[in-house]
Amino acid sequence: MRNGDTSNQDLADRVEMLRRHGGRVKYYHDELGINSRLDELQAAILGVKLKNLEKWIESRRRIAYRYNDLLADITGIKTPKEILDVRAVYHQYTIFINRCQDR
């Protein structure tokens, strides 16, 4: 990281290590890290899409709440439960179905 990007040197060192695929020295990896790059086109598209991210998350949350309401009274179906102090984004809406109910 460039000087001045953070005042937390431990964090800067960790991020730098992960950026180098988990290693401090070339070809020696302490843990699995990431070494990826976006080209200019991917970065430009992502820059536009990120402006809509909050709107898309709130839309998915509203839809998930609606599904929860509609499925609440059906025996054998469990809908996702949100964890206290965690904001679910509902990238997927997965339900549990107990198929043994009416057999």
Does 41 map to a domain? Answer: no
What are the tens digits of pLDDT across the range 25-60? 777 777 776 667 788 999 999 999 999 999 999 999
Question: Model's pTM, two decimal places?
Answer: 0.59
Number of domains in the chain: 2
Both 26 and 59 in a single domain? no
The more confident residue out of 102 and 70 is 70
Both 32 and 59 in a single domain? no
User: At residue 77, what are phi and psi to the nearest 5 degrees?
Assistant: -115, 130
The CATH code of the domain that includes 69 is: 3.90.1150.10
Both 91 and 64 in a single domain? yes
For 1-103, strand residue ranges (E) read 77-78, 96-97
Does 46 map to a domain? Answer: no
Both 57 and 90 in a single domain? yes
Does 79 map to a domain? Answer: yes
Does 42 map to a domain? Answer: no
Q: Which domain holds residue 24?
A: 9-36
Both 29 and 58 in a single domain? no
Q: Are strands 77-78 and 96-97 parallel, antiparallel or unpaired?
A: antiparallel
